[in-house]
Structure 1
Amino acid sequence: MKKVIFLFFLVSSIHLSANIDWSHNTTCPSPDMERVESILSKMTLREKVGQVIMPDIDAVTPELAKKFKLGSILNGGGRYPNKNKFSSIEDWKNLSKAYYDASPIINGSIVPILWGTDAVHGHNNVIGATIFPHNIGLGATRNPDLIKEIGQAVAKEVLSTGIPWTFAPTITVPQNDTWGRTYEGYSEDPELVASLGQAMILGIQGEGDNFLGLNHMLSTAKHFIADGGTSDGVDQGDALISELGLKNLHGEPYFKALDACVQTIMASFNSWNGDKLHGNKYLLTEVLKNQMNFEGFVVGDWNGHGQVRGCSNTSCPQSFNAGVDIFMVPDEWQELYKTTLKQVKNGSIPLERLDDAVRRILRVKMQIGLLDGKKPHEFKSNYIGDKNHFAIARRAVRESLVLLKNNNNVLPLNPSKHYLVVGDAALSINSQMGGWTITWQARDNKNSDYKNVQNIYSALAGYINNQGGSIEFSKDGSYKKKPDSVIFIFGEEPYAEGDGDRKDLEFISKDANYIRLMQQFNAANFPIISIFLSGRPMEINRELNLSDSFIAAWLPGSAVEGISDVIFTNNGSIDYDFTGKLPYSWPKTAVQNVNFKDARYDPLFPYGYGLNYSSTKELVDVEEIKIEKELNEIILFVGSAYPPGFEFVQEGSSVEQVQSDIFTSKSQNISMFKFDYKKQDDAKNLKFFKSNDYNAWGILADSFLDIQDMKAPSYEIELKINRIGSSPIYFGATCAGNGYEICRGMIDVTEVFKNKKLAQWASVKIPVSCLQSAGLDSSNMDIRAILLSNDNWDIDLHSIKILATNSNNLPNCSNLSSGISQ
């Protein structure tokens, strides 16, 4: 009994709060609160509720915004005017004007709709905007003055499209690099995060006489709090930490954000010791608003209120009463508006709480000048892709590069010599950009979508050619002229939240050739320079040992010319040395979770490490530890293909890669679009139309998948059947060798799909053994999943996974008819 009492006390003590002092005072400009109170006193209940509802532009027209007297809107990642990612600057400004004109009129005065956007490393939803290094790279610069300049540049570019509010910066303190949002954090060090986060806010919002002035806009500190401290690095998971630890580790950046007079703070998806932050009144109201004296408003994250216990996306008084002032409710906003209005009327939401939220919103709108006639769509200048901003981005790239190894002083390189470049990432602009670029996950963009941006190979070639040297790219290691050195460029595929979570930190490339070629050139004694593109430190010991020089280049963005500035001499002299330092500790193994404040700190490279051209350190080969992993789950698709896979469609002999959220095949036999199911963009509607030939949608990868050692592998597909065709639909996979298909396993799943209730989500299990019986070799799969039909099928897909299972729980293959011969 004593043990039980002790354990209860231990768990409960985590939540004790009385002895933790969060008090904080700042001196920030204050608007005319008498005027705010005057406006508030004249608002109807419907007008007040409209102020706390924020839908996505895809789900609300200006006409609807006017009808419901809405107070704010957003465009989420990959959302654009008219659902067109190629929208012009005028398209953005015209939509801004339309929403402004639809704003509610309160007692004869307009209270403008406030538009927010995710400009997290530049105005990244807009084609042609300057894309800066992601925050992990900016953390490597350790340069607050540079970050402030970037903030100023971002503000000007966002304002150029008629938008006065960005959901940035992210001031998370990531503690587990398997988290898919690690690159959004400046560092594992709260002091560095606090310094750079404060600088970014000052750049975006301005300070002193320029606070929220002509070329400045609203900033958002996010995500409050401990989004980077969840157990095992799980996105939207649970931060198991004492309140003192919460304050000291994750709170420090918010104190500095308040010192910078940040006006909006976004609540986090994660929980703290089991309680969702969107419903945590103690942290949102008692700590943030009362003790820390935050006078702006708290905005929720994408349907974050719906994750609170007892809530849904369309009803959550708990979240509002806890302190969320604006519901971010992208799609189901009309129902949430109605239920919130009803809850105020019946007392579930006190009127005083609603007034507090609206007062805070009006206060911020007055701070930014919206209540004094400022019209965001009338911003006169166009700074999108400004050449001065590009110069700042190029400087940021230079300062972000971290030199991990430089044996035999291989760097700097003489640009007058001949170089061979290997690695698909050298040609892929997506690889240098990372997630949150044009689209949310950023894997479906083409190089041609990036205006006035070079891939890394082109940038290197431009520099070398100007210095009298030569360069060539090789896919297979062949070359026309023997190179003096070989430059390998490789790294992670783009990802954003959710999709980027990993079980461990082992680097596995989509490019199947690069490691074999690296071994080949190493054996032949060619100097090897490796440029690694990633959103986090990873286990790259094998690549490190094969390289003479190794550079962590993070996710550099638009201005990759900055790489050439540093790694080459200019007419024999060094223009720029390496100055970047690791903002995160670098692990020794794929399963090591290491942070510099650990009691037993044993990284491969410590926090703050970084060589320069004066360094004499010669790195000896590091231990290559192969982690034996039991293969239990392979995620192929959640709303879109998981790396290294990509989606394609085939009509007859014509094959297209799917590279947009809304897609129709050339012959219009297949169409698809993304939508929200459990979270943003995590589902896809797939339609097959009647045709003479079979048409296919599938997931393909350049590297082969081997699941022959997986225990009783089975496909698990979460889907919803909306329309059943009159002809069969097939599911399967293929295997390849020497660059062409050598086997396939296709089975008729028509009856399995027909047995699911129409328009209801369901799970379908298909044993891999059924595909093997139909001809699949599961040791070298290239097309990992494929659906095939020539009739009218309408299917919503959430996820496709391959799971190790108990064979006793699987359907019998005899219930599935096999075979389609082609």
Structure 2
Amino acid sequence: MDHATRPVTGLLRSSVLVSAALLAACSGTDKQAVSATESGNVDTPPSKNIEIWPQLAIPGQNDPAIEQQVASLLAQMTLEQKVAQMIQPEIRDFTVEDMRKYGFGSYLNGGGAFPNNDKHATPADWIALAEAMYQASMDDSEDGIAIPTMWGTDAVHGHNNVIGATLFPHNIGLGAARNPALIEQIAAITAKEVMATGIDWVFAPTVAVVEDDRWGRTYESYAEDPAVVRDYSRAIVEGLQGRFDQDFLSDQRVVSTVKHFLGDGGTEFGEDQGNNLSSEQKLFDIHAQGYVGGLTAGAQTVMASFNSWHGKKIHGDEYLLTDVLKTRMGFDGLVVGDWNGHGQIAGCRNDSCPQAINAGLDIFMVPTDAWKPLYYNTIEQVRNGEISQARIDDAVSRILRVKFRAGLFDKPSPANRPLSGRTELIGHADHRAVARQAVRESLVLLKNNDQLLPLKPGQTVLVAGDGADNIGKQSGGWSITWQGTGNQNSDFPGGSSIYDGINEVVQASGGRTLLRPDGLFDAAEQPDVAIVVFGEDPYAEGNGDIDNLEYQRGDKRDLALLQSLQAQGIPVVSLFISGRPLWVNPEFNASDAFVAVWLPGTEGAGVADVLFTDAQGAVRYDFHGTLPFSWPATPQQAVVNFYDDRETPLLPYGFGLKYGQPSTLANDLSEDSGYDASLLAPRPLFQQGVKDPWHMVIGTLAGDNLDAEAITSNVQSHGSVAIRTIDRVIQEDARRVVFDGKGNGIVSLQGNFPVDLRAFSEANGRLSVEVKADAPLTQPLQLSMLSEEGVRRGIDIAPQLKGTEWTTVTVDLHCFAEQGINLARVFSPFGLSSQAAAKLSFGEVLLLPGSEQPATLTCPQ
């Protein structure tokens, strides 16, 4: 969710959905010039200097009345009741009766989770669930105590899980607007729409400062400038929670969360949940400024980050969570984990992790049914001394402190609060007007040849591109569904597409609009100008990680559309939807005007407000936005930030034209992507152990369905497969696999997110595997890949094995592509499967760039 919310993908079935979550799994992508030793596997921890961190003046602390209430209630609680306060399950994985029995301190809905599992749940449905959970938490008949629970939700650009809510531009667009006052207003509106559904707690703002734009969460960052992030963090916390000297946490406000602590925007290669190698000084200067802003505004909760700092997972980093955040910076609210993030700590599982509590985590965010064993394991770990009673009491005190400050012990139940049930607040016209203003102020004009813009509305306007009439695409990820996919315009009632706004303006002035997504029109319809709306499809988190910034690499369909219109002599205005700057030099060249519209949300009509004059030819709204991120000069220029002074971007941070200013971009920008396959280094997938971001599973295939579990032990069996570690060259550097022949057994490397392997394919790469059979194989042994679409394809490597000797088999990656594997979206890069009984071992598994030596297996001619 904003934490990494992981709904069922459809690629995995049955037990693997639960079991794979037991393993620490990160997301990531292939990067050009990845070293043979994966990032984060070998690292030297930095020396620590607590003096780097400020002692913050945080409002509202040390209130004697609240501290007395906390201490009094804590003294009445049993260990079981205290641990229940520290468990946060997800609405798909527990029931109202579970709440009544255990009395969980909080719960959440992940991205794409809805009451009754109904995407189109009404506000009344949300309120009914909130009321039922609250009443169950206050029922002391089973757990013996009445403490109100809290519902947390990812309302990251409006109340984005709820049909009909106002969706504002994503953070990157708001950063382009450079308007903290507007941001505070947006947050206050979000709080109202959230409270209308009975929810108390919002997992926002995200205060990451993105250094590498390949990261799939770049659009969740306001800017590459930590000062902008600091100021926006303060503004959004004050908008959500209210100002401390005015209406702090009143019945018009919700609890906020600054996240993700710490360094998520600075991982190597922009890899989601990856490793941040910043010095401690840089960690504060660049990545901690959002916490300075948010905490001094009174933010009550902080979410721990998935990423590591110098190889150590933040969820288990006592120095950062306790010494820095709580002790030095003085934060006395609660620290909540991210989606099973505790399970990624070395030595932990999703259902057992004393290390996280000892490090300073106060609430386990634990979706799936792992919440129940985690609850009992944590109780036992306190009893046996693995977790101290003092640490439990500190965590629960922090949770209770937030609840008392938020007035949850005094407020009516969710269904009876002042804003609850006021469905007119969801998508209210006044809210949409503010969102439309935010759209206008977020737009950045990058090119405007011959002052083509603003357009006069009384013309024939061709509106083309797949983003023109597509509210889901313009809203991006975290829009109704987690990834923002699978939505139709009807899922956004009250919203407007970019085309809707254009059509309204043009029709009102007597002009004509031609909506032609493919750009085709009849000779009698000759347009005066073409507006082409195109860009990235929605994604969230690691699904958005890419290995370079080239737009539509290998599939330049949007460029072809632009060039076709240009060739017909039609002036072309490009409206580029994206969650980050991308290398679009060819698209720039094929455009007469070019506007970065980012991800504007549901009020797409705001774009036309700026593009067109009024009927008399006067500018209605000038361009306001400036680049929140430097625009890359090459696809490889992913790390180019104004404070680095290392490289020169195509367009600098802060660039943005206004009407009347001359366009500065050339019309003949280099279209050479500059890709150099010689820079690509081998990438280990398995080398003495599984490499990030993969995890290993074993199980049985039935068609494309996989019943499997994650490997969590050096000896394990499941379904038709048994596996154990063995020594080949050094200790436990290989695996021995036994297929029992009772099903199609498989051992596979899989990830939480698909990975882009096109760099290796473009370099004529191959998959290399060291294999040794115990006896000559008489039946097929399939070496396979699985792409995101659920397509698994294999190649029989049994004939390539040399008796019972260790053999290195290399397979041309094009072979997998020819069988239907989408190498841009690979979910599993390696699998070995057999339907027959067989005993074998495998060692190193690598992705290799091409060489003069042919692969063992090449594609059939």
Please say which of residues 471-480 and 341-350 is displaced more in the overlay: 471-480
Task: Report the counterpart of residue 651 of structure 1 in structure 2.
Answer: none
Please give the per-residue CA displacement for 1:250-298, whole angstroms capped at 9, x wherever unaligned.
1121111111100000001111111111011111111111111101000
| 3-state SS in 1 of match to 2:541 | coil
Q: 1:515 is matched with which residue?
A: 559
2:496 to 444, 451, 454: 454
Matched residue SS, 1:115: strand
- Contact 1:423/1:511, CA 8 A, preserved across alignment: no
Alignment RMSD (CA, Å): 3.7
Q: Is the 8 A contact 1:707 1:779 kept in 2?
A: no
Matched residue, 2:777: none
Q: What secondary structure is seen at the aligned counterpart in 2 of 1:603?
A: coil
Secondary structure of the corresponding residue to residue 623 of structure 1? coil
Determine if the alignment matches structure 1 residue 317 to structure 2 residue 354.
Answer: yes
1:38 corresponds, among 72, 91, 107, to 72
Counterparts of 1:702-781 in structure 2, within 5 Å, are 711=764
- Deviation of the 1:783 alpha carbon: 13
CA distance in 2, matches of 1:285, 1:675: 37
Q: Which residue of 2 aligns with 1:92?
A: 126
Cα distance between partner residues in 2 of 1:483 and 1:619? 25
On the 8 A contact 1:156/1:216 being kept in 2, the answer is yes
- Match runs of 1:610-759 below 5 Å: 610-621=656-667, 622-628=669-675, 630=677, 711=764
Deviation at 1:676, TM superposition (A): 11
Q: Which residue of 1 aligns with 2:629?
A: 584
Residue 707 (structure 1) shift: 9.8
In structure 2, the CA distance between the partners of 1:226 and 1:732, relative to structure 1 (3 Å rule), is: closer
Q: Tell me by how many angstroms 1:472 deviates.
A: 0.7
For residues 792 and 383 of structure 2, what CA distance do their matches in structure 1 show? Answer: 58
What one-letter code is carried by the residue in structure 2 that aligns with 1:578? Answer: F
Mapped pair 1:527 → 2:571: yes
Offset, 1:509: 7.2
**In the TM superposition, what is the alpha-carbon distance from 1:749 to its structure 2 partner?**
9.4
Q: Does 2:443 correspond to 1:401? A: yes
Residues 426-441 of structure 1: pairs in structure 2 closer than 5 A = 426-441=468-483
| Contact kept in structure 1, 2:767 and 2:813, CA below 8 Å | yes
- Whether the aligned pair in 2 keeps the contact of 1:22 and 1:247 (CA below 8 Å) is no
Q: Does 1:284 align with 2:318?
A: no
- How do residues 169-318 of structure 1 correspond to structure 2 at under 5 angstroms? 169-207=205-243, 208-318=245-355
Q: Identify unmatched segments of 5+ residues in structure 1.
A: 1-9, 635-668, 679-704, 717-728, 735-744, 753-763, 787-792, 794-800, 815-822
CA distance in 2, matches of 1:767, 1:543: 32
Aligned to 2:406: 368
- 2: CA distance between counterparts of 1:214 and 1:347? 41
Partner of 1:348: 386
Flag the 1:518–1:93 CA change in 2: closer, same or farther, 3 A. Answer: same
Q: Which one of 579, 585, 594 corresponds to residue 640 of structure 2?
A: 594
Q: Which amino acid aligns with 2:137?
A: S
Q: Which moved more, 1:98-107 or 1:388-397?
A: 98-107
1:444 aligns with 2:478: no
**Aligned with 1:209: secondary structure?**
coil
The one-character-per-residue Cα deviations of 1:182-204 (angstroms, maximum 9, x if unpaired) are: 00000010000011111011000
CA contact (8 A) 2:792 2:821 kept: no
- 2:619 corresponding residue in structure 1: 574
- Separation in 1, partners of 2:518, 2:391: 65
The CA deviation at 1:677 is 7.8
User: Which residue matches 2:49?
Assistant: 17
Give the aligned residue type for 1:614.
Answer: G
Q: Which residue of 2 aligns with 1:54?
A: 88
Contact 1:715/1:767 (<8 A) preserved? no
Is 1:418 matched with 2:451? no
Q: Distance in 2 between matches of 1:805 and 1:75?
A: 43
- Alpha-carbon offset, residue 476 of structure 1: 4.0
Q: Which moved more, 1:498-507 or 1:777-786?
A: 777-786
Distance in 2 of aligned mates of 1:510 and 1:161: 44
**Contact 1:46/1:69 (8 A) holds in 2:** no
SS of the equivalent of 1:431 reads helix
Asked if the contact 1:422/1:514 (under 8 Å) is kept, the reply is: no
- SS of structure 2 residue aligned to 1:352: helix
**For residue 126 of structure 1, what is the amino acid of its counterpart?**
V
Quick check: 572-581 or 30-39, which moved more? Answer: 30-39
Is the CA contact 2:786–2:793 (under 8 Å) kept in the aligned structure 1?
no
How far did 1:626 drift?
A: 1.9
Q: Distance in 1 between matches of 2:155 and 2:266?
A: 23
Cα deviation for residue 673 of structure 1 reads 12
Indicate yes or no: 2:538 matched with 1:494: yes
SS in 1 for 2:453: coil
Question: Within 2, Cα distance between the matches of 1:187 and 1:783?
Answer: 28
Distance 1:70 1:13, change over 3 A: closer
Once residues 533 and 231 of structure 1 are traced to their aligned partners in structure 2, the CA distance between those partners, rounded to angstroms, is 26
Aligned pair 1:482/2:526, yes or no?
Answer: yes
- 2:727 aligns with none
Deviation digits for residues 196-249 of structure 1, max 9, x if unmatched? 111011000001231011110000000011100111111111111111111111
Bigger RCO (CA 8 Å, 6+ sep): 2
Pairs aligned (count)? 697
Aligned partner of 2:136 among 102, 120, 124: 102
Q: C-alpha displacement at 1:617, in angstroms? A: 3.6
Kept after mapping to 2: 8 A contact 1:413/1:569: yes
Q: What is the alpha-carbon distance in structure 1 between the residues aligned to residue 825 and residue 332 of structure 2?
A: 54
| TM-score, length-scaled by structure 1 | 0.78
**Range with bigger deviation, 105-114 or 321-330:** 105-114
**Could you tell me which of 145, 154, 172 is aligned with 1:136?**
172
Aligned to 2:720: none
Cα distance in 2 between the residues matched to 1:421 and 1:152: 35
Match of 1:75 in 2: 109
- Is residue 514 of structure 2 the alignment partner of residue 472 of structure 1? yes
The residue identity in structure 1 corresponding to 2:267 is T
Contact 1:585/1:594 (<8 A) preserved: yes
* TM-superposed deviation, 1:545: 1.4
> For the residues of structure 1 that align with 2:110 and 2:269, how far apart are their CA atoms?
27
Tell me the residue number matched to 2:100.
66
Is the alpha carbon distance of 1:111 and 1:810 closer, same or farther for their aligned partners in structure 2, counting shifts above 3 Å? farther
Query: Corresponding residue for 1:388?
Result: 430
Aligned-partner Cα distance in 1 for 2:825–2:60: 57
Determine helix, strand or coil for the equivalent of 1:370. coil
DSSP-derived class of the 1:133 partner: coil
CA distance in 2, matches of 1:536, 1:782: 19
* More displaced 10-residue stretch of structure 1: 241-250 or 11-20: 11-20
Does the C-alpha gap of structure 1 residues 65 and 778 become closer, same or farther in structure 2, counting only changes over 3 Å?
A: closer
* SS of residue in 1 equivalent to 2:176: helix
Using the aligned pairs only, state the percent identity: 45
Aligned equivalent of 1:335: 373
The AA in structure 2 aligned to 1:210 is: D
Q: CA deviation at 1:479?
A: 1.4
Give the partner amino acid of 1:579.
H
